[in-house]
Chain A
Amino acid sequence: MATAGIAVSARGALAQSARLEILAHNIANLSTVGFRRAAVGFRAHLETAIALDRRAGDLEVTRRPLDLAIVGPGYFTVRDLETGADYYTRAGNFTMDSSGRLVTADGRCQVVGSDGRGIALDGADAGSLRVAENGTLISGEVEYGQLGVVEFEDVARLARRGDNLIENRGSSAIGGAPGSRIQQGTLERSSADPALETAEMTRALRALEANLQAIRIQDATLERTVNEFARPAK
C-alpha cells in the first residue's frame, strides 16, 4: 500500500540526515588536534552504523615538550577529573595545571599512567621534560611515570564522547600497546579530510533529496487515488 512506501522513504530520509550529522561533525573538526573522523555505513534496515576511521591524521612537528603524538593505533588514557571515568584520546596537546597534573588541553581530564594512576609533574620543569618512545616521562634525573597507552582489539566498540574523547564500550585492550610509540614535540592533526567530507556531504544531500522527492510523488499519487478514483458516483 502506498502509505507504507511513504514510511520507507521517510526512514531513508532520516538515515541520510543522521549521516549528514556525522559529516557536519567531521567538518566542524577539520582543525581539531587528534580528531578521528567518523565514517558512516548502513546496517540492515537502514540502521546507521558509526565507525571511527582507522586512518591517523598527519603529524605536525611543534617542538613543544608537552605535545605528544602516538605513532600506531594506540590511545592515551585520560580520566575525567569530575566523574573519575576513564576515556581515551589521540589529542596529545597536554598541559600542566595549577596542581602540577598533566591534563588534556581543556583541563578537564588528567592523563593516566600505565600503573592506572593520574600523572603528576610536581616540581618538574615542563621545558626540560623528555618523553621516551615507550611513554616514560623524565625530567632531569627524576621519572614521572609512564603514559598509559592502550590499543583496542575491536575498534567498532569504541564510541565518541564529545569532540575528542573516546569511550570504550566493551572492547578488550591489548596490554602494553606493542604497535604504538610516542613521538614528543609532535601533534596529530585531524583526520577529517575536506575533499572527502565534501564528496560525502554531496552524496548524502542528494540521497536525502531523492527520498523527499519520493515522498512528494507518493503523496501526489495517493491524493489522486483518494480524490479522483475513489470519488463516489453521483
Chain B
Amino acid sequence: MSLRALSIAAAGGRAYLQQIDLLSGNIANAETVGYKRTRAIGPTTETLFEQGKLRITQRELDLAVEGEGFLRVRMPDQTVAYTRAGNLRLDNDRNLVTADGYLVDPPVMVPEGFGRIVIDPSGLVQGFDGDELQELGRIELTTFANPSGLQPAGTTLFRETAAAGERVDGAQGVIRQGHLEQSNVDHLRELADLVQVQRAYELNSRMMQAADEILQSINNLRRKS
C-alpha cells in the first residue's frame, strides 16, 4: 500500500539531490573565467551559453569573446576542444596556451625578443619586434548551430558532438584583448533556487518518513499487547 509513496519519494529525493549538486557547482564556479552555468532538464543536464559580463584586466594575453563563438584549443591527444575561457599565457616554448596549458588551435608562437602583443577584434595576433609590428598568427573562433548539444569536458572545456550541429570556423564573435569573460552565473538566483530545492528535498524526506510510519503502523495492527 503506502510502499508506492515511499518509492516515489525516493526517486524524488534522488532528483532533488542531483539539482542541489548542480546548483552548488554553479555557485562554486561563479568566479571562474568563461564558466557557463548548467541546469537540470529531466535526468540530464544542459549548459546555458548566455554571454557572461566582460571584465577589464588590461593584461595583454587576456581575451574575451563578445558574441557567439568559442576559442579552439588542442588537447594532448591532438583532438580539438572549445572554450570561452580566454585567460591565455605563454608556455615554455613561447606558444599561446590556455590557463590549463592547452595549445591554442591553430598554434600561435611568439618568438623570443618580441615586446608588446596586439590582438585585434578579428583575432589577428601581432607582436612588436622592436618598433616593427609583425604578424604572428590568427586566433579563430568556432560556432555551432546548437551549442547546447556540446559535451562538457571539465569546467570550461567542451567537445564537439553530433547534437551540436554544424561547426563553422572563423566567424561571428568579436575578440576583446585585455578583457575576460566572467561566468554567467547569477549568484543570487542560484542561491534562491538552491534554497527552494533544499526545502523541496526536506518536504520530500518528510513524505518518506510518513510512508515509513504508516508501514510501521500497519505492521503493528496485529501486535499482541
A216 contacts B by Cβ under 8 Å: yes
Interface pick from B109-117, B129-137, B192-200 = B192-200
A31 contacts B by Cβ under 8 Å: yes
Q: Is the CB of B149 within 8 A of A96?
A: yes
Chain B binding surface SS class = helix
B28 contacts A by Cβ under 8 Å: no
Q: Is the CB of B207 within 8 A of A23?
A: yes
Q: Is the CB of B207 within 8 A of A27?
A: yes
Instruction: Name which residue of chain A comes closest to B7, CB basis.
Output: A24
A59 contacts B by Cβ under 8 Å: no
B41 contacts A by Cβ under 8 Å: yes
Contacts of A185-222 to chain B: CB distance below 8 A: 194, 197-198, 201, 205, 208-209, 212, 215-216, 219
Residues of B within 8 A of A20 (CB): 2, 5, 207, 210-211, 214
| Chain A residues within CB distance 8 Å of chain B | 13-14, 17, 20-21, 23-25, 27-33, 62-64, 66, 93, 95-98, 100, 104-107, 123-127, 164, 194, 197-198, 201, 205, 208-209, 212, 215-216, 219
Q: Is the CB of A14 within 8 A of B1?
A: yes
29 examples of A-B residue contacts, CB within 8 angstroms: A13-B1, A17-B2, A20-B2, A20-B5, A20-B207, A21-B8, A23-B207, A24-B4, A24-B211, A27-B207, A30-B204, A31-B19, A31-B196, A31-B197, A63-B50, A93-B41, A95-B149, A105-B41, A105-B44, A106-B41, A124-B145, A198-B203, A205-B210, A208-B2, A209-B214, A209-B217, A212-B214, A212-B218, A219-B221
Q: How far is the CA of A97 from the CA of B162 in the complex (A)?
A: 8
Residues of A within 8 A of B196 (CB): 30-31
Q: How far is the CA of A222 from the CA of B204 in the complex (A)?
A: 38
B154 contacts A by Cβ under 8 Å: no
Q: How far is the CA of A24 from the CA of B207 in the complex (A)?
A: 6
Q: Is the CB of A106 within 8 A of B44?
A: yes
Q: How far is the CA of A219 from the CA of B220 in the complex (A)?
A: 12
Instruction: Name which residue of chain A comes closest to B164, CB basis.
Output: A98
Interface pick from B9-17, B53-61, B75-83, B90-98 = B9-17
Q: How far is the CB of B98 from chain A (nearest CB, A)?
A: 24
Q: How far is the CA of A220 from the CA of B6 in the complex (A)?
A: 29
Residues A215 and B214 in contact in the complex (CB < 8 Å), given A24-B9, A123-B145: no
Residues A126 and B145 in contact in the complex (CB < 8 Å), given A64-B48, A205-B210: yes
| Chain B residues within CB distance 8 Å of chain A | 1-2, 4-6, 8-9, 11-13, 15-16, 19, 41-44, 46, 48, 50, 68, 145-149, 161-163, 165-166, 196-197, 199-200, 203-204, 206-207, 210-211, 214, 217-218, 221-222
Residues of B within 8 A of A30 (CB): 196, 200, 203-204
Q: Is the CB of B148 within 8 A of A96?
A: yes
Q: Is the CB of A215 within 8 A of B149?
A: no
Q: How far is the CA of A2 from the CA of B165 in the complex (A)?
A: 70
Q: Is the CB of A98 within 8 A of B163?
A: yes
A105 in complex: contacting residue of B42, B161, B206, CB < 8 Å: B42
Residues of A within 8 A of B214 (CB): 17, 20, 205, 208-209, 212
Q: How far is the CB of A79 from chain B (nearest CB, A)?
A: 17
Q: Told that A20-B211, A28-B204 touch, could you supply 11 new A-B pairs with CB distance under 8 A? A: A14-B1, A24-B4, A24-B211, A28-B15, A95-B41, A95-B148, A100-B165, A105-B42, A124-B145, A127-B147, A201-B206
Residues A125 and B145 in contact in the complex (CB < 8 Å), given A20-B2, A96-B165, A208-B214: yes
A27 in complex: contacting residue of B9, B44, B162, B217, CB < 8 Å: B9
Q: Is the CB of A25 within 8 A of B8?
A: yes
Q: How far is the CB of B53 from chain A (nearest CB, A)?
A: 15
Instruction: Name which residue of chain A comes closest to B14, CB basis.
Output: A28
Residues of A within 8 A of B146 (CB): 95-96, 125-126
Interface hub of A20, A32, A64, A97 (most chain B Cβ within 10 A): A20
Q: Is the CB of A96 within 8 A of B12?
A: no
Q: How far is the CB of B168 from chain A (nearest CB, A)?
A: 9
Q: Is the CB of A17 within 8 A of B44?
A: no
Residues A21 and B4 in contact in the complex (CB < 8 Å), given A27-B200, A125-B145, A201-B206: yes
Ranked nearest first, the 8 interchain pairs of A and B with the lowest CB-CB distance are A28-B12, A98-B162, A105-B41, A106-B42, A30-B200, A24-B5, A24-B8, A98-B163
